[in-house]
């Protein structure tokens, strides 16, 4: 019996699970230098990619009209989705009403074909 370990269910869970795993120490100068070097290389790469994009001025000038067209397209999309959902509702309601009608006729059929003598179990 002494070998049996029963878990204590009254222990509250820690609020900060990863508190002990955080690296709170300072970074070395070498690590800071390598990180700043990689950031600089990444920024130069992004500036170069931006430089390669043709017709930047034209794209920036056409941005308001493009956003307007996008907004109109979204409004059309939502109106079409509304119509599609209404058609789906029409088909689903027609199918369920057909199933209900068939079920009601089947019950009426079973009631009319019931035998006159039935044994009642209590």
Would residue 25 count as lying in a domain? yes
> Given this model, what pLDDT does residue 25 score?
74
Q: Does residue 79 form part of some domain?
A: yes
Task: Please indicate, yes or no, if residue 75 is contained in any of the structural domains.
Answer: yes
Q: How far apart are CA 122 and CA 106, in angstroms?
A: 27
pLDDT tens string, the chain, 122 residues long: the values are: 556 676 666 665 556 566 566 666 788 888 899 999 999 999 999 999 999 999 999 999 999 999 999 999 999 999 899 999 999 999 999 999 999 999 999 999 888 887 665 666 65
This prediction's pTM = 0.44
Domain tally, the chain: 1
The whole-number pLDDT of residue 115 equals 67
Asked if the structure places residue 1 within a domain, the reply is no
Cβ neighbours of residue 53 closer than 8 Å, sequence gap 6 or more:
59
Cα separation, 114 vs 117, whole angstroms: 9
């Amino acid at each position: 019996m002494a070998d049996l370990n029963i878990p204590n269910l009254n222990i509250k869970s820690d609020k900060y699970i990863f508190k002990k795993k955080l690296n709170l120490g300072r970074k070395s100068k070498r690590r800071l230098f390598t990180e700043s070097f990689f950031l600089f290389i990444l920024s130069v790469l992004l500036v170069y990619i931006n430089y390669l994009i043709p017709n930047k001025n034209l794209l920036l000038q056409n941005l308001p009209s493009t956003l307007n067209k996008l907004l109109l397209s979204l409004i059309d999309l939502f109106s079409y989705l509304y119509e599609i959902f209404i058609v789906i509702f029409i088909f689903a309601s027609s199918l369920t009403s057909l199933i209900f009608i068939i079920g009601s006729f089947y019950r009426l059929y079973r009631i009319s074909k019931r035998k006159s003598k039935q044994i009642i179990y209590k």
